[in-house]
Amino acid sequence: MTSHRHITTDHDEIRGWIQAHHGVPARTATTTDTAAALHIDFAAVRPGELEHISWEEWFTAFDAQGLALCYPDPHLRGGASAWFELVPRGGGIHP
């Protein structure tokens, strides 16, 4: 993890970052929980574990769960990394 992080709730920015890293919106496939854990599936590396879902469904759950996307600051060395975290909103984050 880098100490220079960018945190956002902007849907267009998030979708652009995920697509630029060849990811697709997903959730845990084997769950009966209505609030299934959200994921980003990069290059389909976890077939069977994750279920791909629409952007609309992913962002609806993202907002309902009060999440934000945290990733390396794109303007710093190493900013092209696909490292990310889905984190709780707070600390001055603005949608």
**Residues found in the chain:** 95
Nearest to 24 by CA among 6, 11, 10, 43: 43
Q: What is the pLDDT of residue 56?
A: 96
Residue 94 lies in a domain: no
Residue 12 lies in a domain: yes
Q: What is the pLDDT of residue 46?
A: 63
Residue 95 lies in a domain: no
Residue 55 lies in a domain: yes
Residue 54 lies in a domain: yes
> Which residues contact residue 11 at a Cβ distance below 8 angstroms, ignoring those fewer than 6 apart?
59
Q: What is the pLDDT of residue 83?
A: 81
Q: What confidence tens digit (pLDDT) does each residue in 34-90 have? A: 556 898 988 766 667 888 899 999 999 999 999 999 988 765 554 456 688 999 998
Residue 93 lies in a domain: no
Residue 38 lies in a domain: yes
Pick the residue with more confidence: 47 or 32? Answer: 47
What residues make up the domain containing 62? 5-88
Instruction: Give the max Cα distance, the chain.
Output: 41
* Number of domains, the chain: 1
Q: What confidence tens digit (pLDDT) does each residue in 15-28 have? A: 999 998 889 999 88
HEC states along 29-88? Answer: CCCCCCCCCEEEEECCCCECCEEECCHHHHHHHHHHCCEEEEEECCCCCCCCCCCCEEEE
